[in-house]
């Protein structure tokens, strides 16, 4: 049951926290490759990009939850932010980007790297919040 909650928490954290911060970046005029809550179809299934991203956020919710679940107090939130920032960002920057022909770490562009870390830290905090709320209801 906790794994299902972690998936749902990661999915929702993507839609609310990750995309919420991304929308703030968009509103202040950051140079972004796509708008927030991007509904453009993705290959090969034609799923909206934001739903595909949220699915992968749900998948990432599982290992991140395993890493943060035993922490207490401020260590819980710090781990949620750090593991959320570092692990998904590293995979995106060093594996996904090159597969998509975008260059390792977005061509080592500091804005891309820092942006990824901020977005995914927000996602991690969101996951942590949803998991705390889910465990309070159990």
Q: Where are the domains of the chain?
A: 2-137
Q: What share of the chain is helix, strand, coil (3-state, %, to 5)?
A: 75, 5, 20
| pLDDT > 90 fraction of the chain, expressed in percent and rounded | 88
User: Alpha-carbon distance 117 to 121, whole Å?
Assistant: 6
Q: What is the pLDDT of residue 24?
A: 97
Q: Which residues contact 82 (CB under 8 A, 6 or more apart)?
A: 121, 124
pLDDT one-digit tens code per residue, 38-78: 999 998 899 999 999 999 999 999 999 999 999 999 999 99
Q: Are 80 and 125 in contact (CB under 8 A)?
A: yes
pTM, rounded to two decimals: 0.93
From the centroid of its chain, how far is CA 34?
Answer: 16
């Amino acid at each position: 049951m906790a794994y299902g909650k972690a998936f749902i928490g990661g999915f929702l954290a993507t839609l609310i926290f990750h995309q919420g911060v991304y929308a703030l970046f968009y509103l202040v005029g950051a140079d972004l490759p796509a708008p927030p809550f991007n509904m453009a179809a993705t290959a090969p299934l034609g799923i909206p990009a934001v739903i595909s991203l949220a699915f992968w956020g749900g998948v990432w919710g599982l290992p991140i939850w395993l890493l943060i679940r035993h922490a207490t107090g401020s260590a819980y939130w710090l781990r949620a932010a750090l593991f959320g920032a570092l692990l998904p960002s590293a995979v995106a920057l060093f594996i996904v980007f090159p597969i998509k022909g975008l260059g390792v770490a977005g061509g080592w562009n500091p804005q891309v790297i820092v942006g990824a870390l901020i977005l995914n830290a927000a996602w991690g905090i969101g996951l942590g919040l949803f998991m705390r709320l889910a465990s309070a209801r159990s």
